């Protein structure tokens, strides 16, 4: 009997609940709810907030559905909204509705679109939320809300963004645009009510870089614009290929390869900072080298590249960057001075503490750079450099010292210098009659070591102490060499025993070399001929 009455009571209660849900659209004053939501959102953002329509839903749970939501932009940036949402859904607490109060539980934004614009160093989001404090502290009208209006018991505690997109645009800057797509993020008000916790994922473009955000916080202070809110988050990064992103950063060389890494974000919403590390198992550098025989597009691969990252609003540092390249190792500290928009362009690159050990020069100078004065052998180098990525070969500057271990002369230009200097003695014609121009790799000119200290200014390398040593001879050089055009202006001295040939070498390795004699000394009979025979046998 008691069970029967319990079932009847439960059925009656169920009918009451169903009836209440069915009557929900009439219990809620829809125009008042619409005005309330618009007013609260406008006060929170400091911008006019509008939406095309509002409706009340019963199932699967009580909710307010908004369509055509828009947030106005800063008037200085135009009349179009800076934020639009195709559809938004506010969850409603059921019990407060029966007493005429509206309590919102959460908000879901579907197909959110945000346009961030920078113009003259000013962002359109800089004033977002600036008027919120004043609006919140303004006195309420006497007597509370108007008759029949629902009383606000609280704002949403959680926001979910589904299928969102954000575009950043820097006006007047070539390549000054990047995007976040496929945004799926959850933001929740923390226990103190003074900030947001966030987590989620997105895809950054260009480059299709997948981002996963965890342990994120955004501190919201009274009267502080959203753009100035302190930001903290951990971001995991992964991309199959960085080619598109690198093209937006560097004019040359092109970079390609997969990347993984993790960054710890800091700074503010509008000026983020980051620390962490990026890792490339293989990063391919490629560029067009017109002076090379076909194919003129040449490539150099870096293996196991590790890039520590320290990102500030206008600077990116990596200390130290490390990689394996051409059979050796590379280490250096890199500082990139950035445009106001970090991903738009790198203005200058500063390389300090450069340390190269055991790099095989034939892979670098012949196969990749196709330099006319190339040699093979293992390179050890220390130094520093400064360049502008938009025009690296004309802007490169720096200094250092190098040592090349046992190797060969393989560059056509270097071979031509030796032949022209030797021709000063007038004995080359019978030795070289009928010979074709030597090709890289054909030279028998082995050496024991090459050493030099150098300076670079405007892409021109100068040295006072170039020294080439082999069993057949020594060569000392002092002068300049242009990295871009291969032009040389150098005083050289070839010495073998008591035989010595001096000359001034000028022109280009492409075929316009001039050798001006400055001195010939033969300390033994047939000394020049013996020197040539040793060089060219």
What would the pLDDT profile of 158-176 be if each residue is shown by its tens digit? 889 999 999 988 876 655 6
| Chain centroid offset of residue 158 CA | 32
447 within some domain: yes
pLDDT tier, 223 (very low <50, low <70, confident <90, very high otherwise) = low
What pairing do the DSSP bridges indicate for beta strands 231-239 and 259-267? antiparallel
162 within some domain: no
Are 248 and 390 in contact by the 8 Å Cβ rule? The answer is no
- In terms of Cα–Cα distance, which of 332, 299, 338, 337 is closest to 318? 332
**Predicted confidence (pLDDT) per residue in 297-350, tens digit:** 999 999 999 999 998 878 889 989 999 999 999 999 999 887 654 345 678 999
- The two tokens of residue 84 are 């639009």
Question: What's the confidence (pLDDT) of residue 409?
Answer: 84
Bigger pLDDT: 140 vs 1: 1
H or E element: which one contains 7? helix 2-22
Question: What's the confidence (pLDDT) of residue 174?
Answer: 59
**Predicted confidence (pLDDT) per residue in 110-130, tens digit:** 999 999 888 877 888 877 765
Question: What's the confidence (pLDDT) of residue 345?
Answer: 66
Question: What's the confidence (pLDDT) of residue 521?
Answer: 76
CA dihedral 346, 351, 357, 360 (to 10 degrees): 40
- In terms of Cα–Cα distance, which of 375, 334, 333, 329 is closest to 356? 329
CA atoms within 13 A on the CB side of 101: 13
503 within some domain: yes
> Domain range for residue 432?
407-536
100 within some domain: no
Are 373 and 385 in contact by the 8 Å Cβ rule? The answer is no
The yes-or-no verdict on residue 365 having pLDDT over 80 is: yes
Question: What's the confidence (pLDDT) of residue 531?
Answer: 52
Question: Tokens 């590790």 identify what position?
Answer: 306
Question: What's the confidence (pLDDT) of residue 139?
Answer: 42
Question: What's the confidence (pLDDT) of residue 297?
Answer: 93
Q: What percent of the chain has pLDDT over 70?
A: 73
| Chain centroid offset of residue 358 CA | 29
CA atoms within 13 A on the CB side of 458: 2
Question: What's the confidence (pLDDT) of residue 442?
Answer: 40
- In terms of Cα–Cα distance, which of 494, 353, 327, 316 is closest to 421? 494
Q: What percent of the chain has pLDDT over 90?
A: 35
CA dihedral 354, 357, 362, 365 (to 10 degrees): 10
**Predicted confidence (pLDDT) per residue in 59-89, tens digit:** 677 777 888 988 899 888 888 898 999 998 8
What CA–CA distance (Å, rounded) separates 188 from 58? 24
- The pTM of the whole model exceeds 0.75: no
135 within some domain: no
511 within some domain: yes
What CA–CA distance (Å, rounded) separates 89 from 159? 10
Are 441 and 410 in contact by the 8 Å Cβ rule? The answer is yes
369 within some domain: no
| Overall number of domains in the chain | 1
pLDDT tier, 52 (very low <50, low <70, confident <90, very high otherwise) = confident
Length of the chain: 537
pLDDT tier, 199 (very low <50, low <70, confident <90, very high otherwise) = very high
What average pLDDT score do residues 370-382 get?
A: 89
- In terms of Cα–Cα distance, which of 76, 46, 393, 65 is closest to 228? 46
484 within some domain: yes
Are 91 and 106 in contact by the 8 Å Cβ rule? The answer is yes
């Amino acid at each position: 009997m008691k069970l029967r009455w319990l079932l009847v009571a439960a059925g009656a209660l169920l009918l009451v609940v169903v009836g209440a849900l069915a009557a929900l659209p009439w219990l809620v004053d829809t125009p008042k709810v619409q005005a309330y939501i618009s007013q609260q959102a406008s006060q929170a953002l400091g911008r006019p907030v509008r939406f095309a329509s509002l409706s009340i839903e019963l199932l699967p749970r009580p909710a307010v559905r908004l369509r055509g939501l828009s947030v106005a932009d800063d008037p200085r940036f135009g009349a179009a909204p800076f934020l639009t949402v195709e559809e938004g859904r506010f969850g409603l607490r059921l019990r407060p509705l029966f007493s005429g109060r509206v309590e919102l539980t959460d908000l879901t934004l579907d197909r959110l679109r945000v346009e961030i614009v920078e113009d003259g160093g000013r962002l359109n989001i800089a004033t977002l939320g600036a008027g919120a404090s004043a609006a919140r502290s303004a006195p309420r009208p006497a007597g509370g809300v108007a008759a029949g209006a629902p009383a606000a018991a609280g704002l949403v505690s959680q926001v979910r963004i589904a299928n969102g997109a954000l575009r950043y645009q820097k006006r007047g800057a070539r390549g000054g645009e990047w995007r976040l797509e496929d945004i799926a993020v959850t933001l929740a008000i923390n226990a103190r009510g003074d900030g947001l916790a966030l987590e989620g994922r997105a895809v950054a473009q260009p480059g299709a870089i997948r981002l996963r955000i965890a342990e994120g916080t955004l501190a919201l202070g009274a009267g502080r614009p959203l753009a100035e809110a302190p930001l903290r988050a951990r971001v995991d990064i992964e991309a199959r290929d960085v080619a598109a992103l690198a093209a937006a950063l560097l004019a040359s060389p092109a970079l390609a390869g997969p990347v993984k890494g993790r960054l710890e974000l800091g700074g503010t919403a509008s000026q983020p900072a980051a620390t962490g590390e990026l890792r490339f198992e293989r990063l391919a550098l490629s560029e067009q080298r017109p002076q090379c025989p076909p194919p003129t597009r040449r490539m150099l691969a870096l293996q196991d590249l590790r890039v520590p990252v320290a990102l500030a609003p206008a600077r990116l540092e990596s200390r130290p960057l490390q990689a394996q390249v051409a059979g050796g190792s590379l280490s250096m500290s890199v500082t990139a001075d950035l445009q106001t928009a970090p991903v738009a362009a790198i203005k200058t690159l500063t390389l300090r503490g450069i340390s190269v050990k055991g790099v095989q020069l034939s892979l670098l100078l012949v196969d990749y750079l196709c330099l006319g004065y190339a040699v093979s052998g293992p390179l050890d180098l220390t130094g520093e450099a400064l360049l502008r990525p938009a025009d690296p070969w004309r802007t490169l500057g720096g200094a250092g010292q190098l040592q090349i271990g046992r190797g060969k002369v393989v560059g056509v230009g270097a071979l031509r210098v030796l032949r022209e200097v030797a021709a000063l003695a007038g004995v080359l014609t019978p030795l070289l009659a009928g010979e074709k121009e030597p090709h890289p790799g054909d030279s028998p000119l082995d050496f024991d070591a090459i050493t030099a200290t150098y300076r670079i200014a405007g892409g021109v390398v100068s040295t006072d102490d170039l020294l080439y040593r082999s069993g057949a001879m020594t060569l000392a050089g002092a002068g300049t060499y242009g990295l871009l055009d291969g032009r040389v202006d150098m005083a050289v001295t070839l010495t073998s025993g008591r035989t010595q040939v001096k000359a001034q070498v000028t022109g280009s390795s492409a075929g316009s070399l001039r050798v001006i004699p400055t001195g010939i000394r033969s300390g033994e009979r047939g000394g020049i001929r013996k020197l040539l025979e040793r060089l060219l046998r």
